[in-house]
Structure 1
Amino acid sequence: MTAANADGERSWYVVRCVFQWEAWEGTPYEERLTLWQAASLGEAIVRAESEARSYAEENGLRYLELAQCYHLATPGRPGDGDEVFSLLRDSHFGAESYLDHYFDTGHEHQGTTSE
């Protein structure tokens, strides 16, 4: 799609899609963020979900049909330090429990840095 919004401007959007790696031991989940230049949030989601289905099919994954979109507030092309995704979540957890529950369960497949 190459349509632009009413001002003729296309904006940048990040879309997070969630997958399940059913063939891997433990069937881990993947949260994948992709960057799209589009005329609207809806167009960005449509394009991202199409790509997500292809990604899932090509890699033997299950796309869980969840797409969350974030409109980049920075004008022009994204650059160093630009915010590319933000999600606010209400929670009854304290800070340490919140991180343990959502981000540090001990079951993440992630690398480490030597820095």
Structure 2
Amino acid sequence: MDKQEAWFSVRCLFRLDAEAPTTYEERITLWRAISPEEAVTLAEAEAGEYVADLAGEYLGLAQVYSMAAEPGHGAELFSLLRDSPLQPAAYLDAFFDTGDEHQGVIETSEA
């Protein structure tokens, strides 16, 4: 019996430059593979190609997510659960909104 391919997303972490302040990047890529291990192998090979032209490095951390459904509009590409004693605002500040992110702000209108 042949193994069926499924869709996997893989989150990899990178350091983009060696000068202070160092910029870190999280990338989530999409792979069709027969197992989570194969998806990580494919993602790590691509990670090596990705950093080849950059003054950076792949940090060797890959987290794989087996997608429950075919990719499509609104499909969940990645999910990571983390236990923490922090309250929501402190959690966001500690892990996602430290002030050092390279990101824009989308203004929302109040209804």
Give the TM-score normalised by structure 1. 0.86
Q: Which residue of 1 aligns with 2:21?
A: 26
Q: Which residue of 2 aligns with 1:56?
A: 51
Moved more, 8-17 or 37-46: 8-17
Q: Which residue of 2 aligns with 1:105?
A: 98
For this pair of structures, how many residues does the alignment match? 108
**What is the Cα deviation at residue 62 of structure 1?**
1.1
What is the CA deviation profile of residues 82-104 of structure 1, one whole-angstrom value per residue up to 9, with x for unaligned ones? Answer: 11100000111111100110010
Equivalent in 91, 95, 106 of residue 88 of structure 2: 95
Moved more, 81-90 or 54-63: 54-63
Alpha-carbon separation, structure 2, partners of 1:15 and 1:58:
21
Q: Which residue of 2 aligns with 1:3?
A: none
What is the CA deviation profile of residues 39-59 of structure 1, one whole-angstrom value per residue up to 9, with x for unaligned ones? Answer: 110000000001001101122
Aligned partner of residue 25 in structure 2, secondary structure: strand
Aligned partner of residue 62 in structure 2, secondary structure: strand
What's the Cα RMSD here? 1.6
- Percent identity over the alignment? 49
Equivalent in 70, 74, 77 of residue 81 of structure 1: 74
Runs of 4+ in 1 over 4 A off after TM superposition: none
Give the letter aligned to residue 80 of structure 1.
H
Give the TM-score normalised by structure 2. 0.89
Q: Which residue of 1 aligns with 2:11?
A: 16
Alpha-carbon separation, structure 2, partners of 1:70 and 1:60:
28
